[in-house]
Amino acid sequence: MKVLFIGNSHTFVHYVPLRVKWFFERQNEPFEFTMLTHPGMGLDYHLKQSQTYLNLLYGNYDAVVLQHNAHPFPGKSSLLESGKTFGSLCPEKTKIYLYMTWSEKNNPEGQKIMSEAYEELSKEINATVCPVGRYWWPIKEKYHEEMYFSDGEHSSIFGASLSAAVIARTLLGLECDIDELYKDAKYLEAIKQDERLIDLVMKDGSLELE
């Protein structure tokens, strides 16, 4: 499967696409990916970038995974507007998946608004939701894992691994079960990425990429 990921730091922090690839490899399934991301930017930003159009229209992708702003979530209308434009751009062979993110650590009630927005968009453009946010809170409650980076917004390595497990299972058409997702995430969490890759760190009290 050849997949294009479009999003922001919640896609590139701890390299969610790479973790999806690790999941596919464990299933003995081929996987290629391209990642187009920019910190703090939503789908509206990517609609103004030339590389978005070149990749989407001529990259010959089997699937595209779209991820919008999350913290703060700009609301349903923002997601629907950009998502519908992406829906009109995607070639017929490229199936659309929506990466439903999670609300802030101190804002669990915000998950319902975010989840419902992604689900409404999926119906509007005939896309499939990768419901990370729907599993985020139940797994946090059941297993008492630290889902968040120290800023309370970005994911921990476990959180990124859970995101990848949900996305990978959705792409493969596999069932998402809380206990199985937890096992998948722990497996992916334990794999060490190449030390030459840059990632999110805290330095002198602020967030940086290193």
Q: What is the pTM of this model?
A: 0.96
Q: Determine the Cα–Cα distance for residues 22 and 87; give it in Å rounded to an integer.
A: 28
Into how many domains does the chain fold?
1
**pLDDT at 203 (0 to 100):** 78
> Do residues 67 and 35 make contact, with C-beta atoms less than 8 angstroms apart?
no
Q: What is the pLDDT of residues 20-72, one digit of tens each?
A: 999 999 999 999 999 999 999 999 999 999 999 999 999 999 999 999 999 99
φ/ψ region of 45 (left if φ > 0, alpha if ψ in -120 to 50, else beta) reads: alpha
**pLDDT at 204 (0 to 100):** 76
Q: What is the pLDDT of residues 139-166, one digit of tens each?
A: 999 999 999 999 999 999 999 999 999 9
Q: CA torsion, points 113, 175, 135, 206, in degrees to nearest 10?
A: -100
Q: What is the pLDDT of residues 89-140, one digit of tens each?
A: 999 999 999 999 999 999 999 999 999 999 999 999 999 999 999 999 999 9
User: Which structural domain range is residue 80 located in?
Assistant: 2-209
Q: The CATH number of the domain where 75 resides is what?
A: 3.40.50.1110
